[in-house]
Amino acid sequence: MELLKKLNKIIVFSALTFTMFLSSTQIFAGSTGKISGVVIDGLLNESLVGVNVIIKELTGYGAATDIDGKFVILNVPPGTYTVKFSMIGYKSLEVSDVRVYIDRIIMVDAELEEEAFEGEVVLVVAKREAVEMDRTNTAAYVNSEEIAALPVTNLTEVIQLQSGVVKGADGALHIRGGRSREVAYMVDGIPVTNTFSQGGGSNVDVETDMVSELQVITGTFNAEYGSAQSGVINIVTKVPTGAKVDGNVEVRAGGYYSPNSPEYIGGVDKYDITNDTDLRFALSLPFNFIPSSLGKLGLLINGRVTNSDGYLYGERRFMPEDGWEIAVYREWYRAIHDPEDAVIIPLPDELHTGDGKIVPMNKGKKYNVSGKLVYQPVPGITASYSLYVKSSEGSGFSNSWKFLPGAMSTGYSDNMTHMFVFTHTPSDNMYYNLRYSYQDNSSESYMYESADDPRYQTTSINAWDPGIVTGFDMGGISSWNRNYFDQKVHLVNGDLTWQINNVVEVKAGGEVKSYDFHYKQSPMKPVLGHEILQFPYTQSEIRGLELPYEFFREATREYEYGNIQLREAHPDSSADDLYYVEYTRKPLDGSAFIQT
């Protein structure tokens, strides 16, 4: 026992030293709350010493009242609990519906009565305070039960319902009128903000079934939220509870129907229930076969697969390669007709090779899987590992390209995040957390996967003149850009909380974060000397020789400079300086805080 006490002191000293040696401005969010109160004799109105106070639903969470009848239970996960007060000679008292919030002190006072019959228990339902004296900021709290009762499909919709939060036209969240990149995101005490994105957001998608409590802070931040500007979105995930396997599967499907809306092209005049599909699953798996002497082990698994064809459709009249054909026909038509007759050029049917099908344009699909393994070897020590994996792809809609839907580029995104959290409570008035996270996020967008794809050469012409007249593009592709982004983040942080007495609490923390950020933009660009489509005959020669279109077309195809030629921009070419962008950054930052 003496050795264990010495070991606890060494661990606590090491943790405190770690949290104090850094200096910068990062954010350290809490993920637990605490219960405090006073216990008195209901008849004599005097403080009771040595009353046992426990949380019935949690093993190892409890305290005993001091000489003034006061108690504090630290490091309580958010949730709804029953607090039990017991003492020899007094009736046991159970206070139910005690709701614990992140970074909050929940006051639960008790009055015990003398026991007339052995085993008597008094049941009391807790009431929420009208004035929350421990609140120093503006914040909203939403627990798992409230989220389950809301008509929402993702956590963004829950956050949007909170006061002071609005969703912009780009889908980003703004708090108190600030920019979306000024919002800090936390998951289980680990920062997951997309630091290098001008749009901000989170690197991790947490599904609603995984959330134990959501905290949205909209102002007057404590020191631990040093880098937050507009607001903080703090998410605490669930832990496996219960003695039985529990899970659920949910399938949703739907579509769009708007037959009297001329602004839509087809697709919405017939209802298709498979247009949007959404599959969710969740599983809580306690490993009850493990001997109790080895502790408790549980696993949470959560996943979601969505597939949407969207509600904006195009008609496939043209194909990307039609651009070259249209450009050649336009040159020939202008040569043999009066200039005034060539303002609007009628295109033969064979020049638009699309099949005329109605196809979705703003479609996308996403896979999101997460898991959390929690191990508690003994009361007071908890270790957890969480894994979040997400993959998505999708394309956008452009009205000018709706008759050429195959010309839109596609964006791809892959994210993987590992989280390790260790929590130790060496004494009733002290606990600390140590955390490590590795986040790997990448995204890319392109028309064709390989820069050497021959389709780049046949789609290099845009029929701009017909597009000017009609307002729609009839050939080519919407973008020649090829972008790649990758961000790797290693993070270590920790915090220590010391409850000196029932009033004074000291909290300190520190963090080190390293980045490996890589960005590359290498668009397709014309080869020097092949920037424009060149023809073997001038317009006067076409007119004078009365060349048939078929002859002119074949002559152009065989001509040395018959096609614009493209290549991917290269870093070693001085001519590509305005096109090619690539850089790698590896910043390292650290921070620390202390607050009372």
- How many Å separate Cα 244 from the centre of its chain? 30
Q: To the nearest 10°, the Cα dihedral for 224, 230, 236, 237?
A: -140
This model's pTM is above 0.85: no
Report residue 567 as tokens: 């290549």
CATH architecture of the domain with range 136-238? Beta Complex (2.170)
Q: Which H/E stretch holds residue 366?
A: strand 364-378
Which residue in 416, 414, 412, 415 sits closest to 444, CA to CA? 412
Look at strands 183-187 and 231-237 and give their pairing: parallel
Q: What is the pLDDT of residue 475?
A: 80
Q: Which H/E stretch holds residue 298?
A: strand 296-308
Report residue 591 as tokens: 């921070």
Residue 80 half-sphere exposure toward CB, CA atoms < 13 A: 12
Unique residue bearing structure tokens 């599967």: 249
How far, in Å, CA of 480 to CA of 478, rounded?
A: 7
Q: How many residues does the chain have?
A: 596
SS3 label, residue 73: strand
Unique residue bearing structure tokens 């003994």: 378
Q: What is the pLDDT of residue 577?
A: 60
How far, in Å, CA of 263 to CA of 399, rounded?
A: 10
Q: What is the pLDDT of residue 371?
A: 96
Which residue in 16, 30, 21, 36 sits closest to 499, CA to CA? 36
Q: To the nearest 10°, the Cα dihedral for 128, 132, 138, 143?
A: -30
The alpha-helical segments, DSSP class H, found in 356-440 are: none
Q: pLDDT tens for residues 171-204?
A: 888 888 888 888 889 999 999 988 887 778 899 9
Contact residues for 83 (Cβ-Cβ < 8 A; gap 6+): 35, 53, 54, 55, 56, 94, 95, 98, 108, 126
How far, in Å, CA of 114 to CA of 90, rounded?
A: 4
Contact residues for 146 (Cβ-Cβ < 8 A; gap 6+): none
How far, in Å, CA of 5 to CA of 14, rounded?
A: 14
How far, in Å, CA of 487 to CA of 441, rounded?
A: 5
Task: Give the Å distances, CA to CA, from 435 to 104, 188, 382, 385.
Answer: 21, 9, 12, 10
Report residue 378 as tokens: 């003994």
> Angle between the 549-558 and 322-336 helix axes, to the nearest 10 degrees?
130
Q: Does domain 31-125 have CATH number 2.60.40.1120?
A: yes
The alpha-helical segments, DSSP class H, found in 121-184 are: 144-149, 155-160
The alpha-helical segments, DSSP class H, found in 36-135 are: none
Task: Give the Å distances, CA to CA, from 514 to 6, 285, 361, 419.
Answer: 33, 34, 39, 15
How far, in Å, CA of 39 to CA of 90, rounded?
A: 12
Q: pLDDT tens for residues 24-56?
A: 345 556 788 999 999 999 888 999 999 999 999
How far, in Å, CA of 337 to CA of 288, rounded?
A: 86
Task: Give the Å distances, CA to CA, from 337 to 272, 343, 544.
Answer: 48, 10, 12
Which residues of the chain are under the pLDDT cut of 50? 1, 3-7, 9-25, 130, 463-469, 561
Which residue in 574, 537, 571, 532 sits closest to 553, CA to CA? 537
From the CB of residue 226, how many other CB atoms can be counted at a distance below 10 Å? 18
- How many Å separate Cα 172 from the centre of its chain? 11
Q: Boundaries of CATH 2.60.40.1120 in the chain?
A: 31-125
Q: What burial class does residue 1 get, using C-beta atoms within 10 Å of its C-beta: 0-12 exposed, 13-18 middle, 19+ buried?
A: exposed
How far, in Å, CA of 298 to CA of 286, rounded?
A: 4
Please give the DSSP secondary-structure letter assigned to residue 339.
G
232 close to 29: Cβ distance less than 8 angstroms? yes
300 close to 210: Cβ distance less than 8 angstroms? yes
Q: Boundaries of CATH 2.170.130.10 in the chain?
A: 136-238
Unique residue bearing structure tokens 């344009």: 361
Burial 262-301 (b: 16+ CB within 10 A, else e): eebbebbeeeeeebbbbebbbbbbbeeeeeeeebbbbbbb
